[in-house]
Amino acid sequence: MSIEKQPAKWVENLLRFGIRTYIESRSKIVIDRNDTIDLKPPYIILANHVNNWDPLFINAYVPETISFIAGDSLFRNTFLKKLLDYVGAIPKAKFRNDTSTIRSIIKAKKHDRVIGIFPEGNRNWDGKTEPLMTATAKLIKLLDIPVVIATIRGGYLSHPRWANKHRRGTISISYQKLWDQGDLKNKSTETIHYQLTEALGHNEMEWQATEKNLYQGKSLANYLERLLFICPHCEKIGHLYSEANRFRCRACQYEIEYTEIGEFEQVNYNLIHQTPLDWNQWQLNFLNSILLRRDSKEKLMIDDHVKLYVTDEHKPFKLVSSGNITWQNPANQVIFQADNGEDYQFKIEAMNGLNIHLHHQLDFTYENKFYRVEFYQPRTSAYKLLKVLQILSNAIRKEEVVS
């Protein structure tokens, strides 16, 4: 199959039934509203992105097979490529302009497909919608077809990005038609972007503060250090460790418990942050302050043992070597010190398309090649390196503008 030809209706119905049966056996699914029931394609669905299963959650309750925009790294896996091609998925390089993707989307419109996009470009880490890609506003104005906003609530708490295990609880989904054909003709892209940001904005912790749903499972705090890497009690980096439902700093012994409602409870010292979102917002501000103070840059160590992969075009990744990653100040370079003795240097300002695949693979492009840094040890944090590089990259760009 392809964009031009959808799966047969009986195949669609069979797949949809199987998907619904599976996800409803794992979670309590509540459909608050569904404006897609009588909506004829082509139209576009824009959704917040909180969970690996988001495409299945959304498509299970939409009458047509959705042609989702998917990261091109997924197409490098032979089996996944066949599956994605079958349902008419459209490959896109994350956080880069890609004219071939636009052409495929226009083709999908011409063939009366339902097009699915996650405008955040990646799953969020703490339950709060990330800034949307500005190109989405231009795209939906160009397409001039109905726009449906799909909001998933409870998807983050049922399986946070940092966690390995699913938690059984309530997932609420709504499908609201925001614009019809012709509604965007006289709107600027800035206005469209602002209104999309408002429509797709979701804070899981604010929602849960009212709902108080239980998300039950085993070892609820396990691998929380993938997200949270700075202790708010002693302000040391890289000493946090999770076990079962507890999260503890090995430097100062500050300890909390992660509960079934997704909040923290005090264990010893006074509770500093109520939720992972609160903690993460604090740690990112703290990280920004220490990275931009020259006298404190040397205190931040990135010393995880990782694997470096490389590819070009749409070929599978090839292992370069395992080794250690560090960064050099004031040269603003990331250095991969390979176990085979070679060094690979990457200027931070030239590392484009920085994003995390799954929870442990940092992807970027550099000099027309696609690289992947795999944090293969389960308790290391690819998120930490991503945020360090983003902060430094933004600082370099600001310095260039000033100069």
Assign 76 a pLDDT band (cuts: 50, 70, 90): low
Are 302 and 286 contained in the same domain? no
> What is the Cα 288 distance to its own chain's centre?
21
- Are 327 and 388 a contacting pair, CB within 8 Å? yes
- Are 77 and 84 a contacting pair, CB within 8 Å? no
Are 272 and 318 contained in the same domain? no
Are 321 and 273 contained in the same domain? no
Q: What is the pTM of this model?
A: 0.90
- Are 48 and 120 a contacting pair, CB within 8 Å? yes
Are 282 and 354 contained in the same domain? no
Is 4 domain-assigned?
no
Residue 2 predicted with pLDDT over 90: no
Mean of per-residue pLDDT scores for the chain:
90
What confidence tens digit (pLDDT) does each residue in 285-341 have? 999 998 887 555 444 556 789 999 998 867 788 999 999 988 766 668 889 999 988
Q: Is 321 exposed, middle or buried (0-12, 13-18, 19+ CB in 10 A)?
A: middle
Is 217 domain-assigned?
no
Is 216 domain-assigned?
no
Are 371 and 244 contained in the same domain? no
The enclosing H or E element of 47 equals: strand 43-47
Are 42 and 160 contained in the same domain? yes
Are 380 and 396 contained in the same domain? yes
Instruction: Please report, rounded to a whole number, the percentage of residues in the chain having pLDDT higher than 90.
Output: 71
Is 1 domain-assigned?
no
Report the distance separating Cα 277 and Cα 136, nearest Å.
26
What confidence tens digit (pLDDT) does each residue in 192-237 have? 999 999 999 999 999 999 999 999 999 999 999 999 999 999 999 9
What amino acid is encoded at 12 in this protein?
E
The count of structural domains within the chain is: 3
Q: In sequence order, what are the beta bridge partners of 333? A: 328, 347
Are 166 and 140 contained in the same domain? yes
Assign 373 a pLDDT band (cuts: 50, 70, 90): very high
| CATH number of the domain encompassing residue 137 | 3.40.1130.10
- Are 353 and 93 a contacting pair, CB within 8 Å? yes
Residue 7 predicted with pLDDT over 50: yes
Q: Which domain holds residue 356?
A: 298-402
Per-residue pLDDT, averaged over 100-105, amounts to 89
Per-residue pLDDT, averaged over 16-23, amounts to 92
Is 191 domain-assigned?
yes
Are 272 and 373 contained in the same domain? no
Last residue of a domain, one of 242, 274, 291: 291
Is 75 domain-assigned?
yes
Is 219 domain-assigned?
no
Is 142 domain-assigned?
yes
- Are 224 and 276 a contacting pair, CB within 8 Å? yes
Last residue of a domain, one of 163, 190, 211: 211
Per-residue 3-state assignment (H helix, E strand, C coil) for 102-141: HHHHHHHHHCCCEEEECCCCCCCCCCECCCCCCHHHHHHH
Q: How far apart are the first and last CA of the chain?
A: 52
* pLDDT score, position 291: 86
| CATH number of the domain encompassing residue 337 | 2.30.29.30
Per-residue pLDDT, averaged over 153-178, amounts to 97
Are 64 and 154 contained in the same domain? yes
Last residue of a domain, one of 273, 291, 309: 291
Residue 94 predicted with pLDDT over 70: no
Are 20 and 150 contained in the same domain? yes
The pair of structure tokens assigned to 103 is 């052409």
Q: How far is CA 356 from CA 60, 121, 291, 385, in A?
A: 26, 10, 21, 10
Are 324 and 266 contained in the same domain? no
